[in-house]
Every structure is written in structure tokens, then in C-alpha cells.
Structure 1
Amino acid sequence: MNKSVRTIQRYVKQWEENGLLGILQNNRADKGSYRIDPRLQDFILKTYREGNKGSK
């Protein structure tokens, strides 16, 4: 199944508690979202683009 033991354990628990509906794949609310503050992301990108000038 290409899943970890822990994931399978969670599936079994969800199935035991909720039946088949318990193991249906739920979409994450934050899928595709960055977990980093946009200002920090801009700083990182700017620093990367400018390179390591002057050992900054």
C-alpha cells in the first residue's frame, strides 16, 4: 500500500470508529498554501537572488 505502519493504524482506528466513511481521503484545508509568512518568504527569495554578497 506504500503507507507507513502508523498511517495504517490510523486508518484502522478511523474505520473502527466511523466505518467506511472514516477512511475516505479528506482534502486538507491548507493544501497548496505556504506555511511561511509572506514577508519572510520575500526576504528569503531576495537573499537567494542576490547571492551571498559581503557574507550577509
Structure 2
Amino acid sequence: MSCPICGKESAAKYRPFCSKRCADVDLGRWLSGSYTIPGDAAEEPDEAAEELARQQQKPH
């Protein structure tokens, strides 16, 4: 298995990475938001609260 960051052979101690450096690079990417999952745009909290209030006012 090769390291997903640099392509070198992975080390058992840092699997799937080859070194602590590559593991830290990957962690930094996660923490900075570089890795994202595509999806719909999130609603603004105020808009979501207003929509919920409107739905609760409607008769069932």
C-alpha cells in the first residue's frame, strides 16, 4: 500500500501513511476543511428557525 500523501511505501507504525509527517499533513487538511463531501448548501440558522416556526403554526 502506498502513502496517500506522497506515494511512498506505507509504514506499519503510521499506516496508511509512510511517516508521522504525512500523517500530520493529512490531519492538517482535515482540520482546515480541505477535505469536504459534496452536498447541498447548508441553510442559514435564522432561515431554518423561521421555517420551523412557520411549520409549527400551520394546522395539522
TM-score range, shorter chain: 0.3 to 0.5
TM-score by length of 1: 0.37
Greater RCO, CA 8 A, separation 6+: 2
More helix by share: 1
TM-score by length of 2: 0.35
